[in-house]
Structure 1
């Protein structure tokens, strides 16, 4: 059985979160479409907030599982 692809907006959010949690710049957003770009930036903001709160490495694993379980 083929696995369905995830929603592009969800994937953009997760990729943005990964960039934010690792402290990367918002200027690295690879998307041009307004909806996916906004989802990426929202994910980046969430990731930056978690980075600032110290939820990096093993402390932040539960957050990634939470985001992956949503889809």
Structure 2
């Protein structure tokens, strides 16, 4: 069975979340498209909040999406 690609907005959010949890800067956003950038920044913000709350590593596993 072929795997379908997720839409770019979802991927941008997921990548932004990963960047936020790992402590990367907001300036590291790779998207020029405003819609994708907005999703990336939203994910980044949630990732930063989770990092500040200590939900990194094993304690943040429940936040990961299974695809």
Shift of 1:38: 0.2
C-alpha displacement of 1:23: 0.7
Q: 1:35-64 deviations in whole A, cap 9, x for unaligned?
A: 100000000000000000000100001011
- The structural deviation recorded for 1:2 is 1.7
C-alpha distance in 2 between matches for 1:19 and 1:3: 25
Name segments (4+ residues, structure 1) moved above 3 Å.
Answer: none
TM-score w.r.t. length of structure 2: 0.94
Instruction: Give 2:53's aligned residue.
Output: 53
Q: Can you give the 5+ residue segments of structure 1 that lack an aligned partner in the other structure?
A: none
Q: Secondary structure at the match of 1:5?
A: coil
Please list every run of 5 or more consecutive structure 2 residues that lacks an aligned counterpart in the other structure: none
SS at match of 1:27: helix
Return the alpha-carbon distance in structure 2 between the equivalents of residues 60 and 27 of structure 1.
24
CA–CA distance in structure 2, aligned partners of residues 61 and 3 of structure 1 = 23
Cα deviation per residue 1:4-59 (whole Å; 9 max; x = unaligned)? 10010000000000000011101000000011000000000000000000001000
